Amino acid sequence: MDLLQAFKGIEDRTSATIGVTDTSAFPEEEERLVARVEAGLHGGLSFTYANPTVASRPADSFPWASSIVVAAVPYLQDGDGDRDGRTLARFADGDRYVRVREVLDQIAAALDSAGDRFEIVYDDNRLIDRALAVRAGVAWRGKSTMVLTPGAGPWILLGSVVTDAELVPTQPMRRTCGTCDACIPACPTDAIIAPGVLDAGRCIAAVLQRRGTIDRTLRSAIGGRIYGCDECLTACPPGRHALMARDTTVDWLSPELILTSSDEELESMVPHWYVPSRRMRFVRRNALVALGNTGDEASLDVLSAYLGHDDELLGGHAAWAVGHIGGSRALALLRFELEREARDSVREELLFSVTECDRDGVYADAVSNARPTNPKESTT
Ligand code: B12
Ligand code: SF4
Ligand code: SF4
């Protein structure tokens, strides 16, 4: 069986779309990456932004190779249907790359039996997966920066097998988004600043993956999200049918579960997530913001345990979350904390939250009468 027939068989068995491109450079993508870094639109991320030259010149990284076999793998599954208030992006709700690896393993096996050298590569800083997919004709470019396939829209993950087999490249698709621009207003943080241009500093998916403090101006827009964001995908008409064909399931990972689990327990729940240095404090930070965004006073019990936390990052975000929920108990908690907190960064968050919480000064009297009781002990 020749290789093209083998790839067709894999497509039929797996619902992946497979194409072929050569290892020549992507000069436009290289320029685009450099321009984004210079304009600060990389949002402090490394990945392909760290070395645009390496990312966009496959022949330099794989001098032994002639072709790249590219796969676009649909990843929606039951439970993924449209529903408001999701805490996890669908790709992160379990390891959805399992399917990508299965398809790539099958491609690799076909190359191996033909006696060709190969290397499986995906989500790797030596290749720009979307650029490969567009050139190999397995997907087209969306204005959200996602690449899309006819059946699954943006709900595909990408991967490649680099090989020394000399294969005939497949041709790019002629499709475009046309007049649609639904993803642009659907973005909660206005991160898609022009068709095909993302300000990663504003993209919730990036914000939840980064180290450090979450910009206060973005926290409300994060809503209940803990990892990833699907809004520009959910709004995308070419993916709508595939999404609606799935039922919905309630999230298994709540902010409360994150905030009441040990680091070891958390680590075992999300082994497939990109978490800086695998430090679970960043997942907890996200959960604090998500819980603050519920606006539910019942959440104050869990949140108050993080006020004054040894880790300033968590103490500061807890202060914001409590203030964002608001109300007299929240204000009492914040004031009590303010009296004993000495660290500048946390005090700044506490002061901001006290002001936010009592913008109209309506609780001031009630709170001063209620002290000195420790509000952490006075649960409803
Ligand atoms: C860095 C990165 C991120 C960053 C930055 C993303 C970005 N858009 O730049 C952050 C953390 C924000 C991110 C988020 C997500 N990511 Co990501 N990410 C990557 C990574 C590691 C590199 C991306 C890269 O280098 N981009 C380089 C710049 C130049 O390209 P781009 O903007 O992505 O590219 C396209 C557009 O600019 C478009 N384009 C250019 N000009 C024009 C002009 C017009 C008119 C139009 C319409 C389009 C257009 O074409 C470019 C491709 O050639 C890749 C894996 C990899 N190694 O490639 C995964 C990858 C892109 N991510 C992926 C996924 C699934 C996501 C999320 C959906 C996850 C989630 N649910 O939270 C979100 C989607 C956010 C979004 N709208 O992009 C998939 C995308 C699959 C797909 N269908 O496109 C990839 C390919 C991983 C994989 N192997 O499957 N990601
Ligand atoms: S993933 Fe979310 S925040 Fe990022 S561009 Fe899409 S809608 Fe906007
Ligand atoms: S929502 Fe519309 S404009 Fe945006 S990527 Fe999908 S088809 Fe293109």
pLDDT band for position 220 (50/70/90)? very high
Q: Of 163, 188, 204, which one is at a domain's C-terminal end?
A: 163
pTM of the model: 0.94
Same-domain status, 260 and 140 = no
Q: Are residues 134 and 261 in the same domain?
A: no
The Cα 59–Cα 48 span in angstroms is 16
Residue 203 domain-assigned?
A: no
Q: What is the pLDDT of residue 235?
A: 97
Question: What pLDDT, on the 0 to 100 scale, is given for residue 66?
Answer: 98
Nearest-angstrom CA–CA distance, 256 and 360: 30
User: Is 181 a pocket residue for ligand 3 (Cβ < 6 Å)?
Assistant: yes
For 123, the domain range is 3-75+94-163
Q: Are residues 261 and 370 in the same domain?
A: yes
Q: Which of 19, 4, 8 is nearest to 72 (CA)?
A: 19
Give the chain's end-to-end CA distance (angstroms, integer).
Answer: 71
Residues 9 and 151 in one domain: yes
Q: Is 192 in the pocket of ligand 2 (CB under 6 A)?
A: yes
**Which pLDDT value is given to residue 157?**
98
Domain end residue (candidates: 163, 187, 215): 163
What is the residue type of 52?
P
Cβ pair 186, 235 in contact under 8 A: yes
Last residue of one domain, picked from the residues 133, 163, 193? 163
Instruction: Identify whether residues 158 and 281 lie together within a single domain.
Output: no
Query: pLDDT tens across 97-116, in order?
Result: 999 999 999 999 999 999 99
Q: Which atom of ligand 2 is nearest to the CA of 183?
A: 7
Percent of the chain residues past pLDDT 90, beyond the cut: 89
**Cα angle for residues 283, 288, 289 (degrees, 5° grid):** 100
Q: Do both 151 and 24 map to the same domain?
A: yes
Output the pLDDT for position 74: 97
Residue 22 neighbours by CB under 8 Å, 6+ apart? 66, 67, 68, 169
What would the mean pLDDT of 49-65 be, rounded to a whole number?
97
Rounded distance from Cα 61 to ligand 1 centre (Å): 21
Q: Is residue 140 included in any domain, yes or no? A: yes
- The answer to whether position 168 is within a domain reads no
Is 249 part of any domain?
Answer: no
Backbone angles phi and psi of 170, in degrees to 5: -90, 160
Q: Please report whether residue 86 resides in a domain.
A: no
What are the angstrom distances between the C-alpha of 266 and each of 20, 161, 223, 272?
40, 33, 21, 12
Per residue in 282-306, pLDDT tens? 999 999 999 999 999 999 999 999 9
Give yes or no: residues 42 and 150 share one domain: yes
Q: Ligand 1, residues 56, 145, 197, 229: which to mutate, most atoms within 8 A of Cβ?
A: 145
Burial 342-361 (b: 16+ CB within 10 A, else e): eeeebbebbebbbebbbeee
Ligand 1 in reach of 158 Cβ (< 6 A): yes
At 375 the pLDDT is 65
User: What domain count does the chain have?
Assistant: 2
- Mark whether 283 and 148 lie in a shared domain: no
**Closest ligand to 181 CA?**
3
Written as one letter, the residue type at 200 is A
Taking only the tens place, the pLDDT of each residue in 111-167 is 999 999 999 999 999 999 999 999 999 999 999 999 999 999 999 999 999 999 999
Residues 143 and 262 in one domain: no
> Which residues, in sequence order, are bridge partners of residue 160?
70, 121
Q: Is 338 helix (H, G, I), strand (E, B) or coil?
A: helix
Residue closest via CA to ligand 2's atom 6 equals: 232
Check whether residue 132 and residue 259 sit in a common domain: no
Say how many Å lie between the CA of residue 232 and the centre of ligand 2.
6
Residues 247 and 265: their CA atoms lie apart, in Å, by 28
> Has residue 247 been placed in a domain?
no
How far from 276 is each of 65, 125, 213, 261, CA to CA, in Å?
32, 16, 13, 19
Residue 219 is assigned to a structural domain of this protein: no
203 Cβ below 6 A of ligand 2: yes
pLDDT band at 376 (very low <50, low <70, confident <90, very high): low
Residue 128, in any domain of the structure: yes
